[in-house]
Structure 1
Amino acid sequence: MNKHNTELNKITKVLNDFNINEIGKKIRFCSRKRIIKPFELVMSLITALGDKSISTVTDLHRYFVKLTETDVQYKPFHNQLSKPEFSQLMKSLVDVALTQWQQQILGTDATLSDFKRIVMQDGSSFAVHDSLKETFKGRFTKISPAAIEVHVSWDLLKGYPEDISVSPDSQAEYDFLPDAKSLVDTLFLADRGYFKLSYLGSIDIAGGFYIVRAKATVNPVVVAAFNRHGKVLKRFSQKKQKDVKKHIRRSVIVDMDVEGKTNYRLIASWPKGKSEPTYWATNLSREKFSAEAVIKLYSLRWQIELLFKEWKSYCNLQKFNTRKATMMEGLVWASLLTLLVKRRICMSVQQLGGIELSTFMVAKNTQGWFYQLMESITQGMISTLNKTWQKTINFLSKYAQRANPTRDKEKGRLKCGLDPIIS
C-alpha cells in the first residue's frame, strides 16, 4: 500500500458508512434502516459546514439533497436533527476522530526538551436563540440571554484538540480545566480567566509547568524582585504587590518571586498604550527561562485564538435559528468534526508533499476540492475517490502552503524552538 492510500485510509477509517451507521445504531439514533442514514447525514453536514458560509437548517437540507442525490423533503430531514440523540451522535464521532487522528506535527529543540506536551486552554462563546436560555444561560443576560461556550484543551505539538466541552456560557471556566495530574512534564498555557492559584499549585505538585496570565487584582507578598538583567530590586522586597505596582515603569520588565497560598514566579511588564501592567504567573525556573523567554512562550497561546477563528469563519461555528437545544448542540459538534476533518486532511497532505501547509489556508480555500472529496467519500467508489484524493493533494500542495516559513521561525509560531515534523 503506497503512502497516498495510507493517508487516505486514516481519513476514511473515521468517515466510513459502517463505522458511522454502527455508532448511530449503538446510541439509538436509528433503530432500523431509513432513507436518511447516519452516514449520509453526517457527511452532508460536514460538507455543508466546511464548504461555504451557511446560516439556516434549510441550507443544510439543500446540501443533503445534492450530496445524496435524493428527494428527501425538509421535514423528515429536520426531524433527524431534532432527535435528542443527534447531539450524542455528533459528539461520539468527535471522540472517535480525536482518538484516531492524533499525530504530532511539531517537535521541540533543546530549550523546550523538558516538555513532552504544550497544552493550551481557552473557550469561545456565541449567542443562540433566546428561547434556549433555560438550557444555555448566557453570561450577559441583558445582551445575550442564551449563549453557548465551547471549552478546548489543545495540544500545540499535535495541532489538535485533546478535549472539548460544550456548556452554558454562564458556567465557570474553571470547571473545564484539564486534570492537573494529566499535565506531568507538560507546559500549560492559559489566559487570566483560568488563573486559579490552587490549580496552579496542583500542576506544580504533579510535576507540570505553567504560564498563566494573572489577574490585575493579584496581591501576593513579593519575596524578591529582579530586573531583566538579573539585578536585585531591593525596594520591591517584602511588600505587597499592590504597594510595588507604582514602581513598575513603562517598557520595563520586573521578575518577582512571590508567596501566599501558593508560591510562584510573577512577571510584570507594562506594554505601550496600556493603562496598567500585565502579569504572568509561572513555575519555570529563572535559570533556564528568562522573563523575556517566559513572555515569548506565552505568546504561543495566540495559536488557540487562530483555532477559534478558523472554526468560526470556515467551519460555521455559529448561531442557527433553532429553538431545539439538542439540535443546536449537535450542530456545534458537527462544526467541530468539520474542523477536525480539515485538519486531518491538512496533516496528511503535508506528510505526503513534504511541505509546510497552513491549516488556516486549508480551511479557507475549499473551492475546487472539499465538496468533491466529501462527495467521493460518501459515494464510496474507490477509483473515483483515489483520483479525487490525488487532485486534493495537488491543489493543497500548491495553494495552501504557509506563506512565509522563514518569518515563522523569527516572529511566528516557531520562534520559541518549535520545528515542523515533515517526512
Structure 2
Amino acid sequence: MLDKNNQFFDSEKILSIAFETEFIKRSNYKIDPCLLLTSFIIVLAKGSYSLREWALKYSTFSETIISFQAIHKKLSIRCLSFLEGVVQYVLSNAIFHNTRYNHAIFDKFNRVIIEDSTCIKLCNALFESFSGNSNGHVKKTMSRIQFTFDLKGGQWLNGKLGTYKVTDNTFSTDIQDRVEKGDLVLRDLGYWNLSAFRYFVENEIYFLSKLKVGTAIFKVDGGNLDIQNLLKSYDKQGVNQVDMQVLIGVHKVPVRIVGYKLDSLQAQKKLSASKKSRHKNQPLSKLAMYLTSWNIFITNIEAEGFELSKIIDIYKLRWYIEMLFKNWKSNFNFEKVVSASKGPDPLKPEIMMYLSFIFMGAFFQPSYNIFNEILLAKSKVILSPFKFATRFKEKIVEYLKHIILNINMTFIQDEVLKLQKYCCYENRNDRKNMGQLIYKISP
C-alpha cells in the first residue's frame, strides 16, 4: 500500500493545487489526488489503460476501494484545471528538471526547441467539438495535439489539444509566449510564418527552417533576388552550395540563406514526394520543381562557427520529436488513452492528454535522461528510447521508487549494467541512429 510518505509527488503541493482549483473541496476527500495520479502513471506505463484498471490500481494501493465510475466522475472541468496546475508544477520544479545534453555546438543556445503535432482519431460523438474529415456519408473525428520539446534540456515544455482544423501554421506564433532570448527554434515548413521569424529576430531568438517556395527575397543592398536564377548560375559554375545574407517577406526580415545541391537520386526522390503531397488540381510550379534539386534553409545563426555541414546536422535533430511521438504511441498507447472516452464531453480527451503529458514529462523522460548520461559518460554508448521504454514498463514501480522518489545509487548502478547490455543502440556502419546524430556534433 502506498501512503503519503511513499508516493511519487510532493503530497502537500499536489493537495494545495487540488484545493486551489477546487478539484477537492473538503478535507475528508474520498479520492486522494496524489494517489490518483500515481495509480494512473503505473497503469499507463504498463500499457493496459482503462478506467477499470485505473480504479483497480488505485484500490490496490489505498485503504479505500473505489469504482471506475467514481474516477470517471472526477474527470471534470475542475480536474482539467487541477492537471494544468500539476503540469506547471512539474515543468518548473527542480525535482523534475532533466539532465542536460552536453554538446559543444549547443553551448551558444539557451534551449533547442522543437515543435510538432500529431493527429489522433476520437469517437464520432465528439465530431461537433473537434471536427475532422467528412464526405457527406462517413465522418471521422480527429484532434490535433501540439507539443514543444527542449532537445538540449531533454524536457517537454508544452502540450496543447486542439481541433483537427487548427493546423501547424495557425499554431506557429503560439510559441512566442514561451521562447526566450538565446533559444534556438527548429521548424519545418508547416510552421512557416514570417511574423514569427520577425519576432525571433527582433528578440534575439535563433531559428532554423526550410525555405518556403515563393517567398519574396531581397538583396541586402536593395532589389529583388531571383533565387532560381541565382542557383541556376551556380549550377553552370559547378557551385553546389549557397550561403548569403538576404531579406525576406514584406517586412524584409534579415536572414541567412544556406543550402546545398542534391544529387540526382535525392532530387528525384524529393520531386516525387512533392508531387505526391499536392492535390491533383494543384501541380507544382516551375520554381517549386527546380528547387527540389536543392535543400535550402533560412536562419539567423551567424556563419562563423556554423558552416553548412553543422546547419544540416542541427536541422536533422528536428526528427527527434517524431521518434518521441512514435515511442509514446507504440509503447505507452498514447492514442488509445486520449481517445478512450466514448461520450460527447470534449474535456475528457484533454484531461487524458494532460495525464499522459505528466507521465512523459515527470517520469519517463527524466528517468531516460539519468541513465543515458550515465551510460554515455561511463561507456560512451547511447540508450535507445524504444528499448528503454520496454524496460521502463517492466520495472515501473522500482524506477519510481528508486529514481523519482529517492535516488538509490545501488539500484541505479545495477540497472545501468542491464541497460548497457540490452537497451543501447547498436553501432552500425551503414547508417547513423538518432543518438549518434545528436552526440556526434562537436565544434
TM bucket by the smaller chain? 0.7 to 0.9
- Quote the Cα distance in structure 1 between the aligned partners of 2:177 and 2:86: 26
Change (3 A) 1:373 1:248: same
The CA deviation string for residues 147-186 of structure 1, in whole angstroms up to 9 with x for no partner, is 3322222221110022332222322434354228943222
- State the partner residue of 1:3: none
- State the partner residue of 1:232: none
- State the partner residue of 1:265: 256
- Quote the Cα distance in structure 1 between the aligned partners of 2:407 and 2:225: 69
Report the CA distance between 1:98 and its aligned residue. 0.9
Kept after mapping to 1: 8 A contact 2:208/2:299:
yes
Q: Partner amino acid for 2:30?
A: I
Report the CA distance between 1:123 and its aligned residue. 2.0
Query: Is 1:164 equivalent to 2:145 in the alignment?
Result: no
- State the partner residue of 2:369: 347
- State the partner residue of 2:111: 117
Q: Partner amino acid for 1:125?
A: C
Query: Is 1:329 equivalent to 2:350 in the alignment?
Result: yes
- Quote the Cα distance in structure 2 between the aligned partners of 1:64 and 1:131: 29
TM-score (norm 2): 0.74
- State the partner residue of 1:137: 131
SS of residue matched to 2:438: coil
Q: Partner amino acid for 1:274?
A: K
Report the CA distance between 1:334 and its aligned residue. 0.8
Query: Is 1:417 equivalent to 2:413 in the alignment?
Result: no
- State the partner residue of 2:287: none
Structure 1 segment 14-413 matched on structure 2, within 5 A: 15-32=9-26, 33-54=28-49, 56-68=50-62, 71-81=65-75, 83-100=76-93, 101-109=96-104, 111-138=105-132, 140-141=133-134, 145-173=140-168, 174-175=170-171, 177-179=174-176, 182-221=179-218, 239-242=225-228, 252-260=240-248, 261-269=252-260, 270=262, 271-272=266-267, 273-275=269-271, 276=292, 277-318=294-335, 319-323=339-343, 324-340=345-361, 341-349=363-371, 355=378, 357-373=383-399, 391=411, 394-395=414-415, 397-399=417-419, 402-404=424-426, 411-413=436-438
Change (3 A) 1:299 1:66: same
Kept after mapping to 1: 8 A contact 2:119/2:144:
yes
Change (3 A) 1:117 1:71: closer
Change (3 A) 1:264 1:347: closer
- Quote the Cα distance in structure 1 between the aligned partners of 2:239 and 2:341: 48
Q: Partner amino acid for 1:22?
A: S
Q: Partner amino acid for 1:395?
A: E
SS of residue matched to 1:305: helix
Change (3 A) 1:129 1:154: same
Kept after mapping to 1: 8 A contact 2:7/2:35:
no
- Quote the Cα distance in structure 1 between the aligned partners of 2:394 and 2:37: 21
Report the CA distance between 1:350 and its aligned residue. 5.3
Kept after mapping to 2: 8 A contact 1:46/1:338:
yes
Change (3 A) 1:404 1:257: same
SS of residue matched to 1:30: coil
Kept after mapping to 2: 8 A contact 1:153/1:161:
yes
Q: How many residues align?
A: 385
The CA deviation string for residues 205-251 of structure 1, in whole angstroms up to 9 with x for no partner, is 22222111232343424679xxxxxxxxxxxx954235556668699
Kept after mapping to 2: 8 A contact 1:151/1:165:
yes
Report the CA distance between 1:404 and its aligned residue. 4.8
- State the partner residue of 2:289: none
Change (3 A) 1:248 1:28: farther
Kept after mapping to 2: 8 A contact 1:211/1:280:
yes
Kept after mapping to 1: 8 A contact 2:220/2:247:
yes
- Quote the Cα distance in structure 1 between the aligned partners of 2:182 and 2:393: 42
Q: Partner amino acid for 2:196?
A: Y
- Quote the Cα distance in structure 2 between the aligned partners of 1:20 and 1:31: 14
Q: Partner amino acid for 1:267?
A: V
Report the CA distance between 1:190 and its aligned residue. 1.1
Gaps of 5+ in 2: 272-291
- Quote the Cα distance in structure 1 between the aligned partners of 2:407 and 2:218: 65
Q: Partner amino acid for 2:36?
A: L
Report the CA distance between 1:391 and its aligned residue. 4.3
Change (3 A) 1:30 1:281: same
Kept after mapping to 1: 8 A contact 2:425/2:433:
no
Q: Partner amino acid for 1:61?
A: A
Change (3 A) 1:196 1:408: same
Q: Partner amino acid for 2:246?
A: V
Change (3 A) 1:53 1:396: farther
- Quote the Cα distance in structure 2 between the aligned partners of 1:409 and 1:203: 27
Change (3 A) 1:344 1:248: same
Q: Partner amino acid for 2:198?
A: G
Kept after mapping to 1: 8 A contact 2:320/2:434:
no
Kept after mapping to 2: 8 A contact 1:88/1:330:
no
- Quote the Cα distance in structure 2 between the aligned partners of 1:162 and 1:39: 22
Q: Partner amino acid for 1:365?
A: R
Q: Partner amino acid for 2:437?
A: G
Change (3 A) 1:181 1:322: closer
Kept after mapping to 2: 8 A contact 1:409/1:415:
no
Q: Partner amino acid for 2:70?
A: P
Report the CA distance between 1:373 and its aligned residue. 5.0
TM-score (norm 1): 0.77
Query: Root-mean-square deviation (CA), in Å?
Result: 3.7
The CA deviation string for residues 264-285 of structure 1, in whole angstroms up to 9 with x for no partner, is 2233444342102443211222
Identity, in percent, stands at: 19
